[in-house]
Amino acid sequence: MSAHAVAHASPPPVAVPTYTISELAKEFDLTTRAIRFYEDCGLLSPQRSGRKRIYTARDRTRLKLTLRGKRLGLTLAEVKELVDMYESPRDTQPQLRKFLVVLAAHRAQLEQQLADLHANLEEVRAHEKEARRLLAEGARRKG
């Protein structure tokens, strides 16, 4: 082969990592059914080889972001919107603004739930105190 031919030869193809549904399920501690559900929601779009699903690094990243969003308490619709924006052109400003709006709403919801829990705990404590008082009063009458 001439030096000219070597200089113009295309490099060997780089192996792109792919994953099976079982590999992703094991890595993220999910069921294959959960992964198929995320597919149905449009969060993942594996390639197909017959009946076999072939997931790319893109799918793996989308799954990772989906699970992160779920841990934050976001709905799957919110997660999908943010993940789809993540793949849009590199101007991340709209994505970050939307993310802040979603996080602020979620934080407000959590703060309300926390306030409700504190109020509920106070009510339980008051009932416990009253029940103890009534028990003590009853024991004094008998004794």
Question: Which residues share a beta bridge with 52?
Answer: 49
With respect to residue 128, please indicate whether it lies within any of the assigned structural domains.
Answer: yes
Position 4 scores a pLDDT of 56
Question: Is 72 a domain residue?
Answer: yes
Residue 5 lies in a domain: no
Cα angle for residues 51, 18, 62 (degrees, 5° grid): 95
Assess whether pLDDT exceeds 60 at residue 3: no
Residue range(s) defining the domain that contains residue 21: 12-76
pLDDT band at 10 (very low <50, low <70, confident <90, very high): low
In total, how many domains does the chain have? 2
Exposure string of 112-136, with b = 16+ CB inside 10 Å and e = fewer, is eeeeeeeeeeeeeeeeeeeeeeeee
Q: Is residue 123 part of a domain?
A: yes
- The mean pLDDT of 31-45, rounded to a whole number, is 95
**What's the confidence (pLDDT) of residue 13?**
67
Express each pLDDT in 73-112 by its tens digit: 888 998 998 888 777 666 678 778 888 888 898 899 999 9
Alpha-carbon gap, residue 12 to 4, rounded angstroms = 17
What was the pLDDT predicted at 7? Answer: 54
pLDDT at 41: 93
- In this structure, the answer to whether residues 101 and 142 fall within a common structural domain is yes
Query: Are 17 and 68 members of one domain?
Result: yes
Please state the pTM of the whole predicted model: 0.66
Are 17 and 50 in the same domain?
A: yes
Question: Do residue 25 and residue 72 come from a single domain?
Answer: yes
Mean pLDDT of 28-38: 96
